[in-house]
Structure 1
Amino acid sequence: MQNIQSDILTHRGSHFDLGVKTAEWMQQTPMLKNRESEWKKRMPRFDIHIKETYDVFQTYAPQIWEEIKGMQEVLNLPTNQMILNFGHYRFTPLKNSGCTVFLGEDYMVRNYDYHPATYDGRYLLFQPNDGGLAQIGPTSRITGRMDGMNEAGLAMGYNFMHRKHPGDGFVCYMIGRLILQYCKNVSEAIQLLKEIPHRSSFSYIVMDKQLASAIVEVTPRSIDVRYDSTCTNHFKLLTHENRNYTKESEERLKRLVNHKPTNLNKADAFQLFNDPQYQIYSKLFRSWSGTIHTSMYEPQSLTAQIGIGQNSFPTKIDFAKWLKGDTLSTYTIAGHLDTDLTFATY
């Protein structure tokens, strides 16, 4: 068991300035060195096309391109390296991952399950002044988001399905960022997911301030929408796209459904996801499917909670107050992981 922590960072201002601030933070960590080591171990299974990537960002996310330019100003890396590490748009054996989501009456709770070495250890509150919606949530590969909520009250998480037959398109954590950046409600999120190109197959789970919700099943070839309260790592509609082995995902879903009463309150829901005894929380870190954090979002109050590791006491942030100018009372999230694997920033 090791003690770990995630930094909480805040920024009010332009995307370019956020990029500068982010790069300065990265320079204080071994993240770039660790990323370079990872690329040496496994060559990218995709191509980098600078002009095509620039064009697609100008179509879907010009402000995020400015953020990448701000990072480049500090890091002084060539554009192809910036795209490789921070653009998250892919042209063309990857690891399995978990993740479980439950939509309560007025909240979303989620376990993020993956490998600690890929984890930023960075939780960001960002209020832009040059376009796009303010957001709160953990970052993924710096410019992406693994889950989160925006100022309009739209909460988002995603679950891995498979990476068979990938397409040219955005990867999951950049798609999560695009949803939070530009969508105010569930219908806008569904429309965006229908429009943008997708690299791999995921389910995107969204809930808005009106408490509408949806689970959007997406592959590079097709998209469908279901209205349910639970999601693990297999499709229920696009079943022909599922992996051959979905037993663990189906069993985890069954445990979640069996543990879940009709009206599960927020505190019990967080414990259900974060306490290993209920077997929703996973310790399979070396298999790329261990639970790194449990997060909860309340769209109507714009409140977010996150706990790192198991049996954590969640850090609660009133995003609505921060948007009005309040400062935070804490800037770290501490917890315990039952593994000797470390974050990318350690």
Structure 2
Amino acid sequence: MGRHVKTFRAVEIGDGGDGRWAEHVRPVTDRAGEWLTEEGRTPQGAVRARRLFERYMPELVPALDRLGGQLDSPHARTLLTMAAVRPFFSGCTQIGGRGTLLRNYDFAPDHTEGTVVHSHFLRPVVGMQEAGWGLLDGMNDAGLAVSLTFGGRYVHGPGFAVPLVLRHLLETCRTVDEALGRLRALPVAIPQNVTLVDPDRSVTVHVGPDIPLTEAPDSCAANHQHLPVPEEQERVTRTQERLAAVRAAGVDAAAMLRPPLYQGAYDEWLGTVYTAHYRPAEGRVTYHWPGESWEQSFAAFSPGSRTVTLGLEVPNPPDAHGHAE
């Protein structure tokens, strides 16, 4: 298991209009063309992406314009729609239950933004930001939490990159049932598994460009949607092994910091970058790494940074409630 050092940051961005958000994301959005499809880099593609956003996410158009108006590159403004983004594939394992959401995000550390944001576009939201204003996972002030994993199938179609879908759900929904209703109507560009939690319910659903929203047997997900999983896919990703492990462990932060759930294949873009433990009814999230944790909340959000070492053995893993022993 290789070791990597990564700095995570926490940024208060409010409604995005005072320049803090733009200052933080400009290094990423200046390279926006690298994220976009070939069509998305054309004027016609940019117009189509904007129209898709206006059709499916009209509530967020004022925020889109406020953010995009601070960026010089037209590619950056198209990126914010996330309706013309090249496919990207990650690992990840997640589970919901007992009013909590627990997940490992597995990817290449150098290609993960690593920014925890506290925003207030339509309502207060805290989450792990990616690609401008999308979210890999997050919660809102109503007690709803959501996270994503790649669905394991290399299919791409018209629709949104799922980090913006999670942002949209948290901005517009209060409950799992409301979010499921929204999610059924949204086109998603690549297969994804989404876990949703509120104080009364937790569920995982499979979505994608070629399938209707399908509810999973329980509120767990790794990186497949259908069985059987091809032998080579299982060898590389261990998706069935991880799903079985998280089901057996339940909502247990300590288990997430041990193999097989904690992964070390960073050179293959499948190493665990962080563990997030959301308690949305309490408005709290704790991010875990080997030997290190960082709590944030709506009541006490603390901007700053943490530099952590990934790939270490865990000397004192958190207990099932997320506290270090």
Same fold, TM-score > 0.5, yes or no: yes
Tell whether the 8 Å contact from 1:96 to 1:289 is kept in structure 2 after alignment. no
Residue matched to 1:344: none
Residue matched to 2:270: 289
Residue matched to 1:183: 173
* Structure 2 gaps, min length 5: 313-325
Tell whether the 8 Å contact from 1:11 to 1:125 is kept in structure 2 after alignment. yes
Partner of 2:55, secondary structure, is helix
Residue matched to 1:274: 257
Tell whether the 8 Å contact from 2:220 to 2:243 is kept in structure 1 after alignment. yes
TM-score (norm 2): 0.82
Q: Distance in 1 between matches of 2:22 and 2:186?
A: 27
Task: Pick closer, same or farther for the CA change 1:116–1:183 going to 2, 3 Å.
Answer: same
Shift of 1:45: 5.3
Shift of 1:165: 3.3
Tell whether the 8 Å contact from 1:88 to 1:170 is kept in structure 2 after alignment. yes
Q: Distance in 2 between matches of 1:62 and 1:217?
A: 24
Residue matched to 2:7: 5
Q: Confirm or deny that 1:202 pairs with 2:201.
A: no
From 90, 93, 102, the counterpart of 2:84: 90
Q: Confirm or deny that 1:107 pairs with 2:100.
A: yes
Task: Provide the aligned C-alpha RMSD in A.
Answer: 2.8
Residue matched to 1:69: 65
Task: Pick closer, same or farther for the CA change 1:216–1:47 going to 2, 3 Å.
Answer: same
Tell whether the 8 Å contact from 2:103 to 2:276 is kept in structure 1 after alignment. yes
Q: Distance in 1 between matches of 2:29 and 2:219?
A: 38
Q: Confirm or deny that 1:26 pairs with 2:35.
A: no
Task: Pick closer, same or farther for the CA change 1:221–1:270 going to 2, 3 Å.
Answer: same
Partner of 1:217, secondary structure, is strand
From 189, 192, 206, the counterpart of 1:217: 206
Shift of 1:163: 4.8
Shift of 1:81: 4.1
Q: Confirm or deny that 1:257 pairs with 2:247.
A: yes
Shift of 1:3: 3.5
Tell whether the 8 Å contact from 1:96 to 1:288 is kept in structure 2 after alignment. no
Shift of 1:168: 0.5
Shift of 1:245: 4.1
Q: Deviations over 1:155-210 (max 9, x none)?
A: 10111013533111001111111111111111111111110111010111000122
Number of residue equivalences: 303
Task: Pick closer, same or farther for the CA change 1:251–1:72 going to 2, 3 Å.
Answer: same
Q: Distance in 2 between matches of 1:199 and 1:115?
A: 21
Partner of 1:335, secondary structure, is strand
Q: Deviations over 1:92-140 (max 9, x none)?
A: 9x66421001223231110011122321121101123xxx232101101
Partner of 1:218, secondary structure, is strand
Stretch deviating more after TM superposition (195-204 or 243-252): 243-252
Tell whether the 8 Å contact from 2:99 to 2:198 is kept in structure 1 after alignment. no
Partner of 1:162, secondary structure, is coil
Q: Deviations over 1:293-344 (max 9, x none)?
A: 110111221211113xx4142211232x25xxxxx445223311249xxxxx
Tell whether the 8 Å contact from 1:138 to 1:145 is kept in structure 2 after alignment. yes
Q: Confirm or deny that 1:334 pairs with 2:315.
A: no
From 273, 289, 295, the counterpart of 1:316: 295
Residue matched to 1:170: 160
Q: Confirm or deny that 1:233 pairs with 2:235.
A: no
Q: Distance in 2 between matches of 1:296 and 1:185?
A: 18
Q: Distance in 2 between matches of 1:89 and 1:244?
A: 32
Task: Pick closer, same or farther for the CA change 1:301–1:188 going to 2, 3 Å.
Answer: same
Residue matched to 1:153: 143
Q: Distance in 1 between matches of 2:291 and 2:161?
A: 29
Q: Distance in 1 between matches of 2:168 and 2:108?
A: 23
Tell whether the 8 Å contact from 2:160 to 2:188 is kept in structure 1 after alignment. yes
Alignment of 1:116-155 (within 5 A): 116-128=109-121, 132-155=122-145
Shift of 1:2: 4.3
